[in-house]
Structure 1
Amino acid sequence: MSDAVSPVLFRAADRPGPAAVGPGMGEEALGLNTDAPSPHAVHKVGPNAVIQTRLALIDICGAGHARALFSEAGLIDWFDLPPDSMVSAEPVNRLNMTLFWQLESPVFEMLMADAGVRTGRYILENRIPRPVRRLLQKLPVWLAARALLKAIRAHAWTFAGNARVSIAPGHPAIIEIRSNPIAVPGCPWHRGVFEMLFSGILGKPVHVDHSTLFDGQSCDRFMVRWNV
């Protein structure tokens, strides 16, 4: 498969301008990228970081408790009318950390993982054209995984704002987010997103491990493994 497949992997929706998206999806995207975003850039992420968390929270905790938690985070307007376009990462992070502190650890982990899976499923069903999905599902697993990695890197704004995102193919495939603007301990939301995307495209059970590295700034590393 030529690299021409990966640029059309995701449909554009609520997408920022080219300068915010970063480099294209050429071969250079497969190495560890060293370009840092502007320190003055405002992080914006996709609305599903709110929409799917709200839905998962209602299912797990009930609508009343969910609304109270949004209110605690100062985001009652988002509960009553969820956003439908890119949103600032700061209030998303505030919501996530409110949930982290207010919920028991197992509930928080389950909630955020569920919200991540829902987000990944939304992307699969609404942002990856069906013909492209079918094509990728017919490819050797390593080739489909490589194309998906490149698409994730090119569309990283949806889950990482303007943070620096690096990818490396292989098994495990590696995704790194430096100074992740919506990171929470263990990053269960991001793990859920990646697990759903890779399992949906590869047609195999997928497991994503997470570790946090520090080399002057925080770095969330996700290691994606699938049954071979």
Structure 2
Amino acid sequence: MDGGVAIGGRIGPNAITRMAEALDAALPAAEVDALFAAAGLAAYRRSPPERMVDEREVAALHRTLRARLPPARLEAVTREAGLRTGDYLLAHRIPRPVQALLRLLPAPLAARLLVSAIRRHAWTFAGSGAFAAWPGYPLRLAIAGCPLCRGMSAERPACGTYAATFERLFRRLVHRRARVTETACEAMGSAACVFELRWRRTD
């Protein structure tokens, strides 16, 4: 296993802004305003964050959504937020030459290089949590102290936003059939939130 511990308790603004976009696409603006107000984040509806945000704010938003949205709507919205985050990273954070190179490489090598880049930037999405990766197949990614489900109790995995972000990146840069499944979640009592990546047709 290799990994690194993210320091600090702040997360990139995508955790708020992309979720707001996903909610706006699914719900009337007044309902989204009410959700942000319930999470104590009404100010972000007036002025979306442009810098790192307190991870406790992100956790509060996810707790509020879990408490107030029907399960199917919650799953759809959190996945959409993750996909939008992946699209933003592809458009603004991963250089085009790097993307082109990864697409030319065999999937196992491209996956290893992409994981290395994710590890270097894990502090931007894991906050004070610890990111780790297990090479091999299926590839496994984990976040211990996950800020998205902190303080939650759930019967199903609660970190669909991360799963969708990882899936978008790996599908665009590693293999078009890549899929990511959250196989363990701290909200369900696990020691860490674990995501498995597969891309073989026979899986």
Q: Same fold (TM over 0.5)?
A: yes
Letter paired with 2:132: S
Q: Does 1:202 align with 2:174?
A: yes
Q: How does 1:38-187 map to 2 (within 5 A)?
A: 42-183=8-149, 185-187=157-159
Query: Do the aligned residues in 2 keep the contact of 1:178 with 1:217 (CA within 8 Å)?
Result: no
In structure 2, how many angstroms separate the alpha carbons of the residues matched to 1:213 and 1:110? 18
Unaligned runs of 5+ in 1: 1-30
> How much does 1:170 deviate?
1.8
Q: Distance in 1 between matches of 2:170 and 2:41?
A: 32
Conservation of the 8 A alpha-carbon contact between 2:110 and 2:174: yes
Cα contact 2:158–2:185 (8 A) shared by 1 = no
RMSD: 1.9
Contact 1:163–1:180 (8 Å) recurs in 2: yes
Identity across the alignment (%): 37
Secondary structure (helix, strand or coil) at the match of 1:125 reads helix
Query: Counterparts of 1:53 and 1:172 in 2: how far apart (Å)?
Result: 28
Q: 1:32 is matched with which residue?
A: 2
Aligned equivalents of 2:2 and 2:183: distance in 1?
17
| Equivalent position of 1:25 in the other structure | none
2:183 paired residue number: 211
Q: Deviations over 1:148-195 (max 9, x none)?
A: 011111111121112111101222111011111222643110011100
User: What is the Cα deviation at residue 36 of structure 1?
Assistant: 5.3
Q: Give 2:2's aligned amino acid.
A: L
Q: Shift of residue 145 of structure 1? A: 0.5
User: Once the 2 structures are TM-superposed, how far is the Cα of residue 203 of structure 1 from its aligned partner?
Assistant: 4.0
CA drift at 1:211 = 2.5
How many pairs does the alignment contain?
193
Partner deviation per Cα, 1:115-166 (whole Å, 9 max, x = no partner):
0000011001110110111111111111111000111111111211121111
Q: 1:77, 1:213 → 2: CA distance?
A: 30
User: Could you tell me which residue of structure 2 aligns to residue 3 of structure 1?
Assistant: none
Summarize deviations over 1:31-78 as a string: whole Å, max 9, x none: 334x656xxx64111100000000000110121111111011111111
Write the distance in 2 (CA, Å) between the matches of 1:36 and 1:133: 26
Tell me, what secondary structure is at the counterpart of 2:136? coil
**Is residue 67–residue 76 contact of structure 1 (8 Å, CA) maintained in 2?**
yes
Q: Contact conserved, 1:179 with 1:217, CA < 8 A, in 2?
A: no
Gaps of 5+ in 2: none
CA contact (8 A) 2:129 2:146 kept: yes
Structure 1 residue matching 2:146: 3-state secondary structure: coil
What are the Cα deviations for residues 198-222 of structure 1, in whole angstroms up to 9, with x where unaligned?
Answer: 01102412211113267x9730010
CA contact (8 A) 1:99 1:108 kept: yes
Query: CA 1:129 to 1:213, structure 2 compared with 1: closer, same or farther past 3 Å?
Result: closer
- Report the counterpart of residue 226 of structure 1 in structure 2: 199
TM-score (norm 1): 0.79
1:86-107 C-alpha deviation (Å, 9 max, x unpaired): 1110011101110110000000
Describe the SS at the equivalent of 1:218.
coil
